[in-house]
Structure 1
């Protein structure tokens, strides 16, 4: 099975990149035979701004542009989509949100329109969310930030398209002891990435 790991961080030496690499190592256990691709949106120069062309795509007035079709094909090749991101203002970074805005388009991620029956088109996709935050767990819970993020991202984006959010993890703290735990957690997430898929297949059988 194949995982697409998407990150949006300009610093290759960041904890976000380290988490993505360790998660990929967990996926690529030789005895399992799984594969991965890392989509580094910052290094690849993905343009996140939602333009008039994207609006026309949403309205189904023009074909999907090449850059978006390329990203959609990456997801179509994957059995699991993994987003690894630093928490910016209690959400994902602008470049990653722009990737979602543009790539998860009408006619591909979902169907809707005046004369179109609403359809969730990504029911086959398993999603894993790994956010990195500096605030404490008590702050997230006390202020309701964690619940708000799940409402916005897990449900507002992925459930709307029918995708199943299997992992929704917040790795909090940046002290050396925290980092060591985060890297091990990333490896574990990677190793377990396709267990849910295997369980789904078993249940279907």
Structure 2
């Protein structure tokens, strides 16, 4: 099995990149011959701007941009999609949101035609979401931020396309949080392709 790990952080020394690396290590430690690819959106200079060409594609009046086609091919090759990202303003960074805006196109991730009927096209794709927050668990619970994130990301994006969110985890700030997060990320990687039951970690440190 093959995983595509998408990372959205400009600093390769960040905890976000460390979590992605430990998650990938967990995949290789699963003793099942699984593989992974890391898509570092910042290092690869992916353009997240939704342009006139993207609008034309959405309206089925344009051609598929080459960079979008390349990202879709990456996902098509994967048996699981993993997103690792810092929480910016209680959501994902603009770079990652722009990647979704441009890559999850009408006609590929879903079909929405003139008859206003929605066809979800990513039902075969398991998704694993790993967010890194800068606030503690109490802040997220008190304001309902994590629930709001799950609504807009897990349901609003991936359920809309039919993709099954298997892991939805938020690593919060806390004492010695970096060490705990790296260990937890490795555990997520080891269990990434476990098909018995649904694994969902919420508010995990």
- Specify if TM > 0.5: yes
Matched with 2:9 is 9
The Cα shift of 1:115 comes to 3.5
* C-alpha separation in 1, matches of 2:165 and 2:31: 26
Structure 1 residues 30-179: aligned runs within 5 Å: 31-115=31-115, 117-173=117-173, 175=175, 177-179=176-178
> What SS is found at the alignment partner of 2:38?
strand
* C-alpha separation in 1, matches of 2:30 and 2:102: 35
Q: Cα RMSD between the aligned structures?
A: 1.3
> What SS is found at the alignment partner of 2:43?
helix
TM-score (norm 1): 0.93
* C-alpha separation in 1, matches of 2:164 and 2:70: 22
The Cα shift of 1:174 comes to 5.7
* C-alpha separation in 2, matches of 1:93 and 1:83: 11
The Cα shift of 1:55 comes to 0.4
Structure with more of its chain in helix, by fraction: 1
Over residues 161-187 of structure 1, what are the superposed CA-to-partner deviations in whole Å (9 max), with x where a residue is unaligned?
000000000001165x21111001000
**1:185 is the counterpart of 2:184:** yes
Extract unaligned runs of 5+ from structure 1. Answer: 201-205
* C-alpha separation in 2, matches of 1:43 and 1:133: 22
The Cα shift of 1:134 comes to 1.2
The Cα shift of 1:31 comes to 2.1
* C-alpha separation in 2, matches of 1:75 and 1:123: 13
Alpha carbons of structure 1 residues 168 and 62: separation in structure 2 relative to 1, 3 Å: same
Extract unaligned runs of 5+ from structure 2. Answer: 199-205
Matched with 2:202 is none
* C-alpha separation in 1, matches of 2:12 and 2:186: 19
- Moved beyond 6 Å, runs of 4+: none
TM-score (norm 2): 0.93
* C-alpha separation in 1, matches of 2:2 and 2:61: 33
Pick which of 110-119 and 129-138 moved more. Answer: 110-119
What is the number of residues matched between the two proteins? 198
